[in-house]
């Protein structure tokens, strides 16, 4: 039992555990060594209301009920098609980031605290009824003194405290599972917990989102007149309040066929923009689902909500471009080489098996017509094949695959005959030409030479430190044995039981002697209390000995 889980945030831990058991994930409680803190009758069986549901559905419902942190966790996991089965990923993509509205007086309090003046001095009008209410923030429509319309996104009161509490619990649980469950160590749960914490902390800081929005807005070129991103009102923006220009439009899935909009042109404009951002610019909207994409009355595509933004460095973009070209050309060997260069190849990687898996993925998509060839699904399955063969890839690629899948879904909603491959190939070729341009190559060569020079300059100092350690006997070597941790854990539990047994025996013997020599009622009472404590402690040790893995 990890004391940090047991003693900190105990109420929230118990609430999480009860829900985990209700939805039939009792084996997770066993792995965490926490089942002794809950009724035995509830350890294994799912609540009858959920028992008939498939596991992915139960997982989604459990995360939704656990609140904002776990909803965000599910949304992050929905990008990890390399780690989770496709049916689980597909189900998690249905997680809706919605919540009951916060009373307007509480929202007013946050705005006035952060902006330092009454709401009436900030806005000519601010609607009390929210436009949208999500798990972390709430959006209200307003008007400025000059008559311009704005949207005001406000962080829910108390959201930071709840998220920080849940992040600590998740971090503790991830480290505990990593230690006690060898079967999940290859998932690197502590690393996933750190990645998730970093992502959600960015979403809790609206100035971070504002800078991302402005960066993408400034990047719009004259050739992207069909794409609009709201401007930020910086004088009315803080870490908890984000005020932006209000752009009106209709959700893609609610667009009326009689609206007179060129749906095919809008699909091509949006698809080309997203591909350009991913493969050419390396900065892209990481959550372009249908709720974040509006179509204006003039057919322009409006992008909203920049809480999640993806970044790809030039080297990653170059390799990703080559990987897509290899997949389109059915060059499996080239694809294997490129994808392995993208990640970290494990010592136990089976390249023959990897090549076979990737050839199967490429072959499956090669027979599809262009409009049914999903580059997002292709990338997602390739990432999973790499992970199964012990090639670890940066998490940004999973976010890229998710963004591509969402982009394809929006484009297909606008134009059912949309041909994504027809749009992808010219953008990929443009990205390749830009990356291989003489100026870009020369810049990378100069950077590589500079980096090599810095390493060479530091080499004498590093050699001197190693020789100094050897000279003073300070050099240490560390070896790892996969099963040693389990043996030490079992030995620790045995020592715990031995210590508790000695303490129980000491209490019983001492209380007996104390009762024999007792001279007053108080002495007798104290002796009986010590005797009962010793007997109870002995009972705990006996029960723990009959239940492997306890104490």
Domain ranges in the chain? Answer: 3-95+163-201, 98-162+202-247, 437-469, 488-546
The answer to whether 397 touches 383, Cβ cutoff 8 Å, is yes
DSSP result, 111-178? HHHHHSS-HHHH-SEE-SS-SEE-SSEEEEEEE-TTS-EEEEEEEPTTHHHHHHHHHHHHHHHHHHHH
> DSSP readout, 413-459?
HH-TT--HHHHHHHHHHHHHHHHTSHHHHHHHHHHHHHHHHHHHHHH
Of residues 262 and 111, more confidence is placed in 111
Correct CATH for 98-162+202-247 of 1.25.40.10, 3.40.190.10, 1.10.760.10, 3.30.200.20: 3.30.200.20
> Lowest mean pLDDT: which of 316-320, 356-360, 444-448?
444-448
Cα(280)–Cα(318) distance, integer angstroms: 9
Among 268-282, 435-449, 524-538, top mean pLDDT goes to 268-282
Average pLDDT value over all residues in the chain: 80
Q: What is the pLDDT of residue 479?
A: 56
pLDDT (mean) for 31-48:
52
pLDDT of 335 reads 78
Is residue 287 among the annotated active site residues? yes
- The pLDDT of residue 179 is 79
What is the pLDDT, as a whole number, of residue 1? 42
| pLDDT value of position 223 | 63
Greatest mean pLDDT range, 286-290, 470-474, 491-495: 286-290
Query: Which structure tokens are listed for 189?
Result: 């749960």
Q: Does the pLDDT of residue 512 top 90, yes or no?
A: no
Banded pLDDT at 353 (limits 50, 70, 90): confident
CA angle 72, 75, 77 (to 5 degrees): 110
Dist. CA 506–CA 509, nearest whole Å: 5
pLDDT confidence bin for 433, thresholds 50/70/90: confident
Give the number of residues written for the chain.
551
Q: Is 86 left (phi over 0), alpha (psi -120 to 50) or beta?
A: alpha
Q: Which of 413, 400, 364, 5 is nearest to 173 (CA)?
A: 5
Rounded mean pLDDT, 518-546: 77
Residue 141 has pLDDT above 60, yes or no: yes
d(CA 375, CA 187): 25
**DSSP tag of 182:** G
User: Which pLDDT does position 505 carry in this prediction?
Assistant: 82
Instruction: Report which DSSP code applies to 517.
Output: T
β-pairing verdict for 309-311 and 344-345: unpaired
**185: nearest Cα among 176, 172, 194:** 176
Per-residue pLDDT reduced to its tens digit, 392-422: 777 788 888 888 888 988 998 898 888 877 8
Total-model pTM: 0.71
Catalytic residue among 35, 287, 305, 415: 287
Residue 58 pLDDT class (50, 70, 90 cuts): confident
**What span, in angstroms and rounded, lies between the C-alpha atoms of 32 and 39?**
16
CA distance linking residue 305 with residue 135, whole number of Å: 14
Residue 3 has pLDDT above 50, yes or no: no
**SS3 state at 549:** coil
Task: Provide CB contacts within 8 A for 165, sequence distance 6+.
Answer: 9, 12
Give the closest residue to 382 by CA, choosing from 341, 405, 354: 354
Contact 505, 535 (CB under 8 A): no
- N-term to C-term CA, the chain: 8
The confidence score (pLDDT) of residue 457 equals 75
Average pLDDT over residues 255-261: 76
The C-alpha atoms of residue 208 and residue 113 are separated, in whole angstroms, by 19
């Amino acid at each position: 039992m990890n004391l940090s889980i047991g003693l900190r945030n105990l109420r929230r831990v118990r609430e999480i555990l009860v829900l985990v058991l209700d939805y039939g994930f009792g084996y997770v409680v066993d792995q965490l060594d926490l089942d002794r803190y809950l009724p035995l009758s509830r350890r294994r069986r799912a609540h009858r209301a959920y028992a008939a549901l498939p596991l992915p559905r139960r997982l989604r419902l459990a995360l939704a009920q656990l609140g904002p942190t776990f909803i965000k966790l599910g949304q992050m996991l929905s990008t990890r098609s390399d780690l989770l089965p496709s049916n689980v990923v597909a189900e998690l993509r249905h997680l809706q980031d919605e919540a009951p509205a916060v009373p307007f007086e509480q929202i007013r309090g946050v705005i006035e605290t952060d902006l330092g003046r009454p709401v009436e001095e900030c806005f000519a009008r601010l609607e009390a009824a929210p436009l949208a209410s999500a798990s972390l923030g709430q959006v209200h429509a307003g008007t400025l003194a000059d008559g311009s319309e704005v949207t005001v996104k406000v962080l829910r009161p108390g959201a930071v405290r709840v998220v920080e509490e849940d992040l600590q619990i998740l971090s503790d649980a991830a480290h505990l599972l990593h230690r006690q469950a060898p079967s999940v160590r290859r998932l690197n749960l502590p690393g996933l917990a750190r990645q998730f914490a970093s992502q959600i902390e960015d979403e809790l800081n609206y100035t971070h989102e504002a800078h991302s929005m402005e960066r993408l807005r400034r990047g719009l070129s004259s050739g992207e007149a069909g794409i609009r991103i709201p401007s930020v009102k910086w004088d009315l923006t803080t870490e908890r309040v984000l005020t932006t220009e209000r752009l009106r439009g209709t959700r893609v899935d609610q667009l009326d066929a009689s609206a007179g909009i060129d749906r095919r042109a809008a699909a091509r404009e949006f698809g080309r923009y997203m591909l350009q951002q991913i493969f050419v610019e390396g900065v892209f909207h990481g959550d372009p689902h249908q709720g974040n994409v509006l179509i204006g009355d003039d057919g322009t595509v409006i992008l909203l909500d920049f809480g999640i933004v993806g970044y790809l460095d030039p080297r990653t973009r170059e390799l990703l471009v080559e990987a897509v070209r290899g997949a389109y050309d059915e060059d499996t060997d080239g694809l294997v080489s490129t994808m392995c260069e993208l990640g970290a190849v494990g010592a136990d990687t089976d390249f023959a098996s990897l090549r076979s898996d990737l050839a199967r993925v490429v072959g499956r998509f090669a027979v599809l017509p262009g409009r049914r060839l999903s580059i997002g699904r292709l990338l997602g399955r390739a990432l999973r094949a790499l992970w199964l063969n012990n090639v670890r890839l940066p998490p940004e690629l999973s976010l890229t695959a998710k963004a591509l899948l969402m982009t394809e879904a929006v484009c297909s909603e606008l134009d059912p005959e949309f041909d994504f491959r027809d749009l992808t190939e010219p953008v990929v070729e443009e990205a390749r030409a830009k990356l291989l341009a003489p100026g870009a190559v020369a810049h990378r060569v100069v950077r590589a030479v500079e980096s090599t020079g810095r390493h060479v300059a530091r080499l004498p100092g590093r050699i001197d430190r190693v020789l100094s350690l050897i000279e003073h006997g300070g050099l240490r070597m560390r070896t790892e044995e996969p099963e040693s941790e389990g043996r030490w854990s079992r030995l620790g539990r045995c020592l715990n039981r031995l210590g508790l047994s000695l303490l129980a025996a000491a209490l019983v013997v001492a209380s007996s002697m104390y009762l024999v020599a007792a001279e007053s009622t108080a002495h007798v009472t104290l002796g009986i209390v010590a005797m009962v404590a010793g007997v109870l402690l002995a009972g705990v040790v006996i029960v723990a000995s009959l239940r492997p893995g306890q104490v």
